[in-house]
Amino acid sequence: MLELTILIPLLTGGFAMFLPARLGRGLLVVTALLHLQLTVMAWMGKIVPSFPQYFVVTNEGMLILLVTSFVFLFISLYAVSYMKETEITSEPIYHGCTLFFLATMTMVTMADHLIVLWIAIEATTLMSAPLIFLHRSKTALEATWKYVMICSVGIALALLGCFFVVLAMDLGNVHAPITFSSLRTIATDLDPLWLKAGFIFLVIGYGTKMGLAPMHTWLPDAHSEAPSPASALLSGALLNCAFLGVYRAHQLLYQAGLGDFSSKILVGFGLLSMLIAAIFIFNQTGYKRMLAYSSIENMGIIAFGIGIGGLATYGAMLHLIHHSLIKSSLFLSAGNVLLGYGSKLVDKTGNMAKLFPKTFTAFFAGFAGISGFPPFGIFVSEVLIIIGAFQQGKNISVTIFIFALILIFAGASRLVTRMCFSPCENPDILVEENWARTLPSFALLAASLALCIWLPDSLYQTILSAIATIGGSING
C-alpha cells in the first residue's frame, strides 16, 4: 500500500481546510511525521505499490521521496512558529494546500506511467499556486499569474512530448504498457527520430518547472513572493520532482542508445542556467530573489552533472540531496530575516550578526554551504562533478562551469556580507528571532554536514543503482 503516502496527505489536507488554524498546524506536523515514517518503511521495502501498472518503486524516485519527506518535516515544524507571527487571512488554505502539494509531489516520485507522471507534475503547479498567492498583494498576484501561465505552457509542451514518445512506440510496432519501466526493456525498438523530438519537448516542459534557463522566468518571482516556508518547499522539494521528469526522459533515451544526444542537450541547458543565474545574481536587490537565482544555478549544476555522465552523475545526485537540505534551510532563515526587518530588500537589512545572532549563524553557514565550502556536502558534489567532467574530457564545458560558479559566489557574497555585517540604518526589529524558527534551519544544515561525513550504506547503494540506469558509476 505505497499509495498511502499519497492518500494520507490528500485526506489530511482536505481536513485541514476546515480546521481552525491552531489545529491545522498540529495536523501539518503530524502528517509530516507520518509521511516520513511511511517513506522510511517504503525505503526498507516493507510496503509496495498496490497499483503496479501506474506506480513503481525506483531508486531515483525513492531518493527524491526521502529528501522531500525529510525537508517537508522540518519546514512544517518551522511553519508552526512562522504562521503565528505573520498575518495571513486564510491560514487553513496554507495548511491544506501544502499537504495537497506534498501528496502531488509524492505522486511524482512514484509515477511510472507517462501520463500519470504528467498529471502529477501538472497537479503540483495547481496545488502550489495558492501558496504563492497567500499574501494577496499585487506583486503576489503577478507572481502567481506568471507561475501558472509559464508552467502551464511548459506542461502543455510536455504533453506534446508524451504524444511523440507514444508515436515512437507506434512506429516501432511496439505493444507494451506506456510506462517507463516497460519502455526501458524495449527502448531500442522505438523510433529514434520521434523519440528525440519527444525528449526535446519533455525537457522543455519539465525543465520549465525545474527552472532551467531560459524557461526559468517564473522562478525568482514565485520564490520571492511566496511565504518563506512555501519558498523553501518550492526550492527544496518541487524542483527535484520536476528534475525527476527530465531524468526519466534522459534514462529512456540512454536505454534507446541515444544517450549522447540527450546528454548534450542537458549540458547545454545546465550551463545556460548557471550563466544566466550568474548574470542576474550580480545586481540583485532582494535576498529572496538571490536565493531563487541560486536555485536556478544549482538546478543547472544538476542537469550539467547528469549530462556529463560517469562520475559526474554521482556528484549530481549528491548535489540534489545537499542542495535541497541547504537551500530550504536558507529560505527558512530568510523568513526570519523578513520577519525581523519587514522587507525583502537587501538595503533595508544589515548588521544581522549583532541583531539576529542565531539567524545569522544559520544563514551564513548556509551561504557557505551553498557556495561550495567544506564541510558541507556541496563541496564534495561539485568537486566530483568537476573531476567527472575532466575524466570525460569536457574541458571547455568545465571551464564555463567553474567560471559561472566563481561569478555566482562573487555576486552572492557581496549581498550576504552587506546583510550580515554592514550597519543597519534604522534598526527597529519587528519580530525577535527564537529557537522554534532557527532550530529547523540548523537541523537541515546538520543533516547536510552529517551526510558529508557519513553516508549511510543504503543511501550510497541507492544512488549507485539510480545512476547505473544512465550509465553513471563511481569509477568514471
Partner 1 sequence: MIQISDALLSLTVLSVLLSLGSNRLMALVKIMAFQGIVVSLIPLFLEQHWPMSTGSVFFLQIMLLIKGLLIPGFLYAAVNKIKIKREVEPIIGYNASLIFGLSFILIAAFITDRLQISLPMENNLLMITAVTTLAAGLFLLMSRKKAITQVIGYLMMENGIYLIGTALAKETHTMYVVEFGVLLDLLVGIMIMGIILHNINSSYDDVDTALLGKLKDN
Window of 19-27, 142-150, 297-305, 366-374 that interacts with partner 1 by CB under 8 A: 142-150
Residue 188 lies near partner 1 (rule: CB under 8 A): no
Residue with cell 476546515: 18
In the bound complex, what is the minimum distance in angstroms from residue 309's beta carbon to partner 1? 28
Residue 88 lies near partner 1 (rule: CB under 8 A): no
Instruction: Out of 13, 61, 207, 220, name the contact with partner 1 by CB under 8 A.
Output: 220
In the bound complex, what is the minimum distance in angstroms from residue 325's beta carbon to partner 1? 27
114 or 265, CB closer to partner 1? 114
- Among the listed residues 254, 238, 149, the one whose alpha carbon sits nearest the alpha carbon of residue 199: 254
Touching partner 1, residues 227-286 (CB under 8 A): 280, 283-285
169 or 368, CB closer to partner 1? 169
Residue with cell 498583494: 137
Q: At what angle do helices 218-225 and 138-171 cross, to 10 degrees?
A: 130
Residue 170 lies near partner 1 (rule: CB under 8 A): yes
Touching partner 1, residues 114-133 (CB under 8 A): 114-115, 118-119, 122, 126
Instruction: Out of 162, 190, 232, 249, name the contact with partner 1 by CB under 8 A.
Output: 162
The footprint of partner 1 on this chain (CB under 8 A) covers a number of residues equal to 43
144 or 273, CB closer to partner 1? 144
Residue 191 lies near partner 1 (rule: CB under 8 A): yes
- Among the listed residues 244, 401, 438, the one whose alpha carbon sits nearest the alpha carbon of residue 308: 401
The contact mask relative to partner 1 for 374-413 (x = CB under 8 A, - = no) is ----------------------------------------
Residue 169 lies near partner 1 (rule: CB under 8 A): yes
145 or 390, CB closer to partner 1? 145
Residue 356 lies near partner 1 (rule: CB under 8 A): no
Q: Which three cell numbers stand for residue 415?
A: 549581498
Binding site for partner 1 (CB under 8 A): 114-115, 118-119, 122, 126, 138-139, 141-146, 148-149, 152-153, 155-156, 159-160, 162-163, 166-167, 169-171, 175, 178, 191, 193-194, 220-221, 224-225, 280, 283-285, 289
